[in-house]
A and B are shown apart, each in its own frame.
Chain A
Amino acid sequence: DGGITQSPKYLFRKEGQNVTLSCEQNLNHDAMYWYRQDPGQGLRLIYYSQIVNDFQKGDIAEGYSVSREKKESFPLTVTSAQKNPTAFYLCASKAGSGANVLTFGAGSRLTVL
């Protein structure tokens, strides 16, 4: 079945460490997105990518980095510069500029100890 795979599901990190969250899709979608979810705040966009080797900052990009070397993959690195990284992270994809529905992965929960 086609879909989006996020890993790991749960991750614990010590302060000062970088951590990378994986997002892989086999939907042949062009656009990919990373959202951060905090209780009562809905989803906030971190980064998005419309094509390979290109990505743009979203509303809360500070302290995060991404790459898009392959169409299927859009990993997110949470750096030590992110002041409050504990959150639920969601990866999503969309077929292209004419598409209007986002498909989501199951999410990764990051806890900073």
Chain B
Amino acid sequence: AQSVTQLGSHVSVSEGALVLLRCNYSSSVPPYLFWYVQYPNQGLQLLLKYTTGATLVKGINGFEAEFKKSETSFHLTKPSAHMSDAAEYFCAVSEPGRYNNNDMRFGAGTRLTVKP
């Protein structure tokens, strides 16, 4: 079964600094990969996704992620952090083509703090 590991439960950066949130996955087939963001006491909102094609995907709010098959990684980056980026971020993986609709697996989450 597919799985996701997010390295670092807490990441702290200064405003204007690079944001790097790490995600590694395990999958028996070419996966679909996702990053979601969650603000306090809210649901999850899709930031970006990779399905097929270009391995560098751009999402909302200036975030992007690169699918690296050789490293089984899908790290999330943003060149310059804003205070409004403070939230919890979840990486997720699914295996396309399966009949079973229960195929999304989430990482444990990374809480991003942005210091002024």
Contact = CB atoms under 8 A, between A and B. Distances in A.
A107 to B, nearest CB: 5
Interface residues of B, number: 23
A56 B49 CA distance: 26
A112 interface: no
A100 B96 contact: yes
B42 A107 contact: yes
Contacts of A48: 101-102
A60 interface: no
B101 A94 contact: yes
7 contacts: A43-B106, A92-B44, A97-B99, A97-B101, A101-B46, A104-B45, A106-B42
Contacts of A88: 41
A66 interface: no
For the complex, would chain B's binding face be called helix, strand, loop or mixed by DSSP majority?
A: loop
Most buried by B among A4, A6, A42: A42
Interface of B: 9, 32, 34, 36, 41-46, 49, 51, 90, 94, 96, 99, 101-102, 104, 106-109
Nearest to A58: B102
Nearest to A88: B41
A90 B44 contact: yes
A107 B43 contact: yes
A40 B43 CA distance: 16
A95 to B, nearest CB: 11
A100 B49 contact: yes
Contacts of B104: 102
B32 to A, nearest CB: 5
A50 interface: yes
A41 interface: yes
Contacts of A4: 43
Contact of A42 (B34, B43, B49, B109): B109
